[in-house]
Structure formats: C-alpha cells, structure tokens
Structure 1
Amino acid sequence: MAGLFITFEGPDGAGKSTQLRLLADHLDALGIPYITTREPGGTPLADKIRALLLDPEHSAMAPKTEALLYAASRAQHVAEVIRPALARGDVVLCDRYIDASIAYQAAGLGLSPDMIRRWSEEATDGLWPVRTFLIDIDPAAGIARIRSRGERDRIEGRELSYHKRVRETFLALASQEPDRFMVLDGAQPIDQIADEVRREVDRLLKEWRYMPCG
C-alpha cells in the first residue's frame, strides 16, 4: 500500500508546526504508521543546507542561490526520507514543501514561479502531497509571535512587505488547487484548528484504507 503524503504550509508564525505535532499525536493514538519531517532539512545533508539558508550572516545570498539550495535540500530529503516512507505505506507529515519555495523564493524574492516549480519537480521527480493544510495568518501577527519567542532566522527577519507577498501567494496557490489545499484560519484557538485537521485526515485515512469505513 502506498503511503499518504500530507504537508503543512503557512506564513511564518502561523502555527503550522504545532498543528503537525498535534496531528502526529492523533496518528500515534490511532496506531497509524507515520513519520514527521521538515524542510529545509530532514536528512543530515539537508540539515547542513538548512543551516546555510537560515543563518542571518548570509544576508548577501543571491535569490537564485537560495532557491537552488532549497531544491538541492529537497532532492535529498525526498530521496532519502519521503519516498522510502511512502513506499513502506507510512503517513508522511512534512513541515513545508514545494509550495513554500513558490511563495518564499518566487513571489517573495521576485523569481519566476514557473522556474521554481520546474526546479522542485525535477528535484522530487514530480512528487506532490495528497493534502496541504495552509494555516493562514496576518503576517504582522505571525511576526509578532516569532518575536515573542526570541531571535529570528534569516528568512523570518525580512521586512513585513516580503511576508505579505508570501501570504498572498500561498492563498493564490490554494485558490488554484482547491482539491489539494485546505485553508484554516490561524487566528482560531489551537484546539479548534487541530479538530478541523483531524476530521479531514480521518476522512483521508478511510479513503486510503488505513481505517475501516463506517
């Protein structure tokens, strides 16, 4: 049985990582085999690329360099972690994926969305998630959450206008692929968002025959 690939996206500070963790707890309670992972990163090599990408000292990094590093990290991540897990029949929960590159490197930095999509599809051999949960939040509120936690990384520290472009692109992507995306209001209570995520995933699990119907 092929596994089920689910991603979480959203502007910085939206709470996507929290929702991924809560969904993992739900799968654990159900006895469903799963893995959690993240981008950039997810493997020893990809984590080294992550460190380069997020280090505030690399402020002079060119936009295309940034985009290509994300694609390189993703290629290793998919080959080493995601595809093997799906081949085992696991549910894969991933914190960010290709949509993030389109939002952050294309719209955010002014690169071609088609180019970013092409690089990412080449890196992953065309692997896309079955469901993407987009946790939406006003960028100013998201950045305020991050500031309250302490130091920001190179991407989080960019100007508010950048984060606004990122959010607009995420919402545009969701409107273009309504069958894949589920948009959730990140300003809602955490438990309320988690309930919506769990209901949708339970439905998917029945479709994928992880759980009995009825």
Structure 2
Amino acid sequence: MNGKFVVIEGLEGAGKSSAIAVCQRVLNDAQVKFVNTREPGGTPLAESLRSLVKATHEEKVSDATELLLMYAARSQLVENVINPALNRGDWVLGDRHDLSSQAYQGGGREIDKHKLEALADIVLGELKPNLTLYLDIDPKIGLARAANRGELDRIELEQLSFFERTREVYLNAAKNDSSIVTIDASLPMETVHTHIEKALKQFIDGANA
C-alpha cells in the first residue's frame, strides 16, 4: 500500500484530539503503519516555533511574522517527517496542515491568498493531503468548549469575527475539494466519532482497491 496523507482540521473546540484518537484506532485495526504529526510542530525546531506562535508576547506579533513562522515550522515537518514517511510507504496522520494557514492566516488574518499560495509552493511543492476530515462547528460553541479546557493561547483569544472568517474559508474549501470530508462536530461525540470512522474506513478500502 502506498503512503497516504490524512489530515484532521477544524476550529478550536471541534474535537480534533478525540478525532485523531479514533483515526489512530481505525488505522491500527486496518494494520496500516503510520506516523502522527501536528502543526505547527512535529520536529524539535518546529515545536520551538510552535511555542513562539502560540505564546503571548510583550510586543505585538505581526500577521506576516505569524504566517512566516507557520510555514517555517511546516517546512521542517514536511522535509524531515512527512515526505520521508510517505516515501517509505507509511501513512501520515496529521493534526492540521496547510488548510489551517489558508483558513486562519488567509481567512482570519485576511492575508492575500496569492501570498499564501507562493509560500505553499515553496514549502509543499506537489504535496497535498489525500484525505482531510474537517470537523465543522459554530465558532461560538467551539470557543466555549475551548475556554472550558483551560487557559487560551494567543490565537484562541482572537475575536469571534476572526473565527467566523476562518470557518468560512474551511467551508468554501470543503465545498470545492472532493478530498475534504465535512463532519458535523456539533453532534453528540459518539455520533461524530461514528462518522469519522466511516469516512476513514471508506478511504482505506478505496486505497486498498
């Protein structure tokens, strides 16, 4: 079986962590060898960049700085983890990938999409997830869930309008890309997990065909 790249995407509070656990179980049951990644992060240097992105600072972090830090971390992860795994024939299960930058920096920060495309071309080349499971949730609900988890990071403290713009990009991307499967994350957790399991099993069956 050739290596495949599966990504979980969604706003804060959508349930990505539990969704990833479901995907891990499904892949293990199917005897698929895989590696886990998260963005930003996933390598020692990328994890350091993650800390810079998420932490609050005495000085304002410019939108351009945030964008460049995200792609710097992604570059390390792609070169040192994702591409080597796929080239070995392993699968990659990612907690976020480039669609997050399109949504958060492109939608939330309103950075011109052509600038994002230029960076993505440099960092990713032809790399694209084979399957993205997008956990869709109303930002009000998601942010309330996130607040209940504990202290919010710098990005999670943004205004509601930021996340509404972010969600709009996610929804538009899902509408125009057949490799993105939208999961209603506002449903009961058991139902959400059933939908995730079904979508991933269908993808695995197709990859084995």
Same fold (TM over 0.5): yes
Residues 71-86 of structure 1 mapped to structure 2, 5 A cutoff: 71-86=71-86
Residues 133-144 of structure 1 mapped to structure 2, 5 A cutoff: 133-144=133-144
* 8 Å CA contact 1:106, 1:112 repeated in 2: yes
Q: Partners of 1:121 and 1:190 in 2: how far apart? A: 36
Displacement of 1:34 in angstroms is 1.1
Secondary structure of 2:36's counterpart equals: strand
Which residue of the partner structure matches residue 121 of structure 2? 121
TM-score (norm 1): 0.93
2:117 is aligned with what amino acid? R
Displacement of 1:203 in angstroms is 2.1
Displacement of 1:197 in angstroms is 1.8
Closer/same/farther in 2, CA of residues 201 and 58 from structure 1, 3 Å limit: farther
What runs of 5+ residues in structure 1 fail to find an aligned partner? none
Which residue of the partner structure matches residue 194 of structure 2? 195
* 8 Å CA contact 1:121, 1:127 repeated in 2: no
Q: Partners of 2:182 and 2:58 in 1: how far apart? A: 33
Which residue of the partner structure matches residue 149 of structure 1? 149
Q: Partners of 1:103 and 1:187 in 2: how far apart? A: 19
Which residue of the partner structure matches residue 92 of structure 1? 92
TM-score (norm 2): 0.95
Displacement of 1:207 in angstroms is 2.4
Q: Partners of 1:94 and 1:206 in 2: how far apart? A: 20
Structure 1 moving runs of 4+ over 4 Å: none
1:46 is aligned with what amino acid? A
> For the aligned residues, what is the CA RMSD?
1.4
Q: Aligned pair count? A: 209
Percent pairwise identity: 35
Q: Partners of 2:46 and 2:203 in 1: how far apart? A: 29
